[in-house]
Amino acid sequence: MGFRVAELSSTITNEQMKTIEIKGSLRKELGKKSSKLTRKEGGVPCVIYGKENNIHFHAHENSFKNLVYTHEAHLVKLDIDGQVYNAVLQDMQFHPVTDKILHADFVQIFENKPVIINVPVTVTGDSEGVKAGGKLIVKKRNLKVKGFANDLPENLVVDVTDLKIAHSIKVGDLAYDKIELLDPKITTVVTVATSRVALKTEEEEAAEAAAAAAAAAGEGAEATGEAPAEEKGKEKEKDKDRDKDRDKDRDKDRDKDRDKDRDKDRDKVKDKDRDKERK
């Protein structure tokens, strides 16, 4: 069964994206050796990709807690040795074992230029499909949006209250004030999958119908004075007697075969004795 598109209100209002401040210092040296030393001292090597040039700096790892370990997206105010840059987090690398932050990449933003950023999806409402026994599945946790910094939301709220079983909400069904969604319009964001509680399969219905028919036939037999259980018992006894007769016949055939083999052995011995007497 294919998923159908849910009917939604055209526009949803979201809270404006908050700003987090991070203080850092310019890096005097670059390279693996310098980065390793920075991490050893509790710092995180970072870079800001600016309009004219890139700025390399480092900040303490504790400064990133409110930026990284949260469900919301944020704007970032970077104070680098007193010089302030407005930016958004583009990428972050983590240690594969310890999960410590290894490196952070920022992109400088400007008031007169739109920003492209991934914004988390937040689902709200009690879905009709879930109430009916379906399972809510979020396919996209983040969506790529484009807009001016002052218009960016901290998350994208998706209301699933009217979402029924086998229906889905796609990117093309969503609209937000002053921002543009860049993901393909056919991309599924959230859907309600069917379940056995919500919808019985045709096989189950057929099995129930067959069971009901069998029960009705049994009741009819009892009403006419027949005893289906006794009839079945007699048939089983007859089958057992037939099997016993077959076993007896097989035993007789085996005895005959043994007698024939013995006769052949005797004839062979007699032939040997005759040959000896002739010699």
Does residue 183 lie within any of the structural domains? yes
Q: Residue 15 carries which DSSP code?
A: P
Q: What is the pLDDT of residue 11?
A: 45
Do 178 and 126 share a structural domain? yes
Enclosing domain of residue 75: 19-113
**What pTM value is reported for the model?**
0.59
Residue 200 in domain: no
Report how many domains make up the chain.
2
Q: What are phi and psi of 253, to 5 degrees?
A: -60, -40
- According to the model, what pLDDT value does residue 50 have? 86
pLDDT averaged over 10-residue windows placed end to end, the chain, 279 residues: 43 69 90 88 91 90 86 87 90 89 91 90 91 89 92 90 91 92 94 70 61 67 50 63 68 66 66 62
The answer to the question of residue 94 being in a domain is: yes
48 and 57 Cβ atoms separated by less than 8 Å: yes
Amino acid 105: pLDDT? 92
Running DSSP on this structure, what letter comes out for residue 151?
Answer: G
169 in any annotated domain: yes
Could you tell me if residue 47 is inside a domain? yes
Is residue 121 located within the same domain as residue 109? no
The pLDDT of residue 55 is 92
| Residues making up the chain, counted from first to last | 279
Check residue 261 and give its pLDDT: 67
Hey, what are 132's tokens? Answer: 């009916």
Which stretch of DSSP H or E encloses residue 96? none
CATH code of 51's domain: 2.40.240.10
In a shared domain, residues 79 and 136 = no
Of 51, 84, 113, the last residue of a domain is 113
Look at residue 174 in the predicted model and tell me its pLDDT: 93
Instruction: Quote the pLDDT of residue 1.
Output: 43
Same-domain status, 122 and 140:
yes
Determine the Cα–Cα distance for residues 122 and 126; give it in Å rounded to an integer: 13
**Tokens 């294919």, located at residue:** 2
Tell me, yes or no, whether 172 and 134 share the same domain: yes
Tell me the three state secondary structure of residue 36: helix
Amino acid 181: pLDDT: 95
Domain endpoint, select from 177, 193, 209: 193
DSSP-derived secondary structure for 161-225: TTPPTTEEEEGGG--BTT-EE-S-TT-EEEEEE--TTT---HHHHHHHHHHHHHHHHHHHHHHTT
Which pLDDT score, from 0 to 100, does residue 30 have? 86
Q: Would 152 be classed as within a structural domain?
A: yes
Q: Is residue 254 part of a domain?
A: no
